[in-house]
């Protein structure tokens, strides 16, 4: 009986961690599958327009590659984490409630960020191959 309260707290913590991991994995699966609309050109175009209209580019750069704010693209965080940061920001960032930015707008902006291509690697740039150090 003596260890019972500790075991309950420990088990509850483990359950919370398992739930969090399951949600994160589902978000990653949705994001990588394109199920959130990244394959729809209208969502990407609308997302790009919203990205600039709401001022995201002021901190995250014109392609979401960072600046005063962190890099968002290419390869954005899972959709659920993206929404959570918008709705309840952890750092200096404006709060975007569902009234200010509806879920459909968030999904469109996320689709735009998913569409940002990765940059070339150094081995893909001919001039860098010829340089010697």
How does DSSP assign the chain, residue by residue? -TTHHHHHHHHHHHHHHHHHHHHHHHHHHHHHHTTTTTT-HHHHHHHHHHHHHTTHHHHH-TTSS-SSSPP--SSPPPHHHHHHHHHS-SSS-----TTTS-HHHHHHHHHHHHHSPPPPPGGG-HHHHH---
Number of domains in the chain: 1
Q: What is the CATH number of the domain that holds 108?
A: 1.10.760
Entry pTM? 0.63
Domain-embedded: residue 132? no
Q: What is the mean pLDDT of the chain?
A: 78
Domain-embedded: residue 55? yes
> Is 20 a residue whose pLDDT tops 60?
no
> Is 131 a residue whose pLDDT tops 80?
no
Domain-embedded: residue 127? no
Q: What is the pLDDT of residues 64-90, one digit of tens each?
A: 998 899 999 988 789 999 999 999 998
Domain-embedded: residue 124? no
Domain-embedded: residue 130? no
Q: Tell me which residue range forms the domain holding 73.
A: 4-117
Domain-embedded: residue 103? yes
């Amino acid at each position: 009986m003596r260890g019972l309260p500790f075991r309950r707290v420990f088990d509850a913590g483990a359950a919370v961690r398992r739930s969090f991991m399951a949600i994160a994995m589902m978000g990653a699966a949705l994001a990588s599958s394109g199920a959130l609309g990244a394959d729809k050109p209208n969502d990407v175009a609308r997302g790009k327009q919203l990205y600039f209209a709401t001022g995201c580019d002021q901190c995250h750069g014109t392609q979401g590659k960072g600046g005063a704010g962190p890099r968002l693209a290419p390869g954005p965080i899972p959709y659920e984490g993206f929404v959570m940061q918008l709705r309840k920001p952890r750092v200096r960032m404006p709060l975007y409630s569902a009234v200010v930015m509806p879920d459909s707008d968030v999904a469109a902006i996320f689709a735009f960020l998913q569409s940002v291509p990765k940059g070339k690697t150094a081995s893909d740039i001919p001039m860098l191959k010829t340089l010697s150090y």
